[in-house]
Amino acid sequence: MSKKKQILTIFLHIPKTGGTTLNSIFTRQYTVKEFHNHDLFDRKIIPLSELNDEHKKRINAVSGHHFYGIHEHFNKSHRYFTMLRHPVDRVLSLYYYLMENDYPGYEWMKEMTLEEFVEATPEAQNNQTTLLCGYPINPDVNTAKERIKSFDMVGITELFNESLFLLKKTFYWKNIDYRKVNITKSRLTKEELPDETIRLIEKYNDMDMEVYLYAKELLLSKVNTLSEKEKWKLQQFVEKQKNII
């Protein structure tokens, strides 16, 4: 049995962090019968809470927009990974994604400005910290940092290729080539935002910013400790992806 199948691997998919692209890579490492992807299992819609014991025995990988703690549904050893993104970029991507798409339950925000959306929407307020801490735990920076330290890998969207290379090394993944998916096509960048709007987003995501910077520092440290041969392989992978995308 391969090392990746001896343990339940959980991708805590935080919305708008590049997770859809990453999930497409994660999914291909497993068969349909051992992967629970959001509410999809064995080509059927089965929410995590409705899985029976037989289902759970077969599952070796879980992915979804979950709070930390979903391992408690399984009687298996487990390990987590996730991806974090600069909070301003993540909120911008979330806002324009919901504006562009008819996403159920968010019809009410179609007439909102970005500023109104940030002030009214929990998903735009320290959501990365909240999901890391777990439900119903009140989010706090120290708990989120402890989660990050306990995870086998925490990637950074702005360092996607470096993150993916380390994920492959950590979980013994095979093919990790990719094309970006679920990209928000029409959106402002943070460089185009008024300073007061950036400050507003940062105000409602102060914990996320601290947690993001902490995770980024840890990731860069992991990259720096790669051997010279691994660094060369990483550079080759980065150059290869430039030609694919």
Helix (H, G, I), strand (E, B) or coil at 183: coil
Q: How far apart are CA 176 and CA 168, in angstroms?
A: 7
Q: How far apart are CA 78 and CA 58, in angstroms?
A: 14
Lookup result for tokens 């990719």: 178
pLDDT of residue 172: 95
Check pLDDT > 70 for residue 1.
no
Check pLDDT > 70 for residue 182.
no
Q: How far apart are CA 227 and CA 101, in angstroms?
A: 44
**pLDDT winner (highest mean) among 2-11, 89-98, 186-195:** 89-98
Does the CA dihedral 41-42-45-50 come out positive or negative? negative
Asked if residue 98 lies in contact with residue 19, where contact means CB atoms within 8 angstroms, the answer is no
> Where do the domains of the chain lie, and which CATH numbers do they carry?
3-244 (3.40.50.300)
CA dist list (Å): 47 to 22, 44, 62, 65, 196: 21, 9, 11, 12, 41
SS3 content of the chain, % helix, strand, coil (to 5): 55, 10, 35
The lowest-confidence range among 38-47, 151-160, 183-192, 228-237 is 183-192
Helix (H, G, I), strand (E, B) or coil at 71: helix
The percentage of residues in the chain with a pLDDT greater than 70, rounded to a whole number, is 95
The percentage of residues in the chain with a pLDDT greater than 90, rounded to a whole number, is 81
Give 185's pLDDT tier (boundaries 50, 70, 90). low
Q: Interhelix angle for 195-204 vs 87-100, to 10°?
A: 100
Give 229's pLDDT tier (boundaries 50, 70, 90). very high
pLDDT per residue as tens digits for the range 27-51: 999 999 999 999 999 999 999 999 9
Stretch 13-35: mean pLDDT, rounded?
95
Stretch 149-162: mean pLDDT, rounded?
97
Q: How far apart are CA 171 and CA 160, in angstroms?
A: 16
pLDDT of residue 108: 87
pLDDT of residue 136: 79
Q: How far apart are CA 243 and CA 228, in angstroms?
A: 23
Stretch 183-188: mean pLDDT, rounded?
66
CA 2 to chain centre: 24
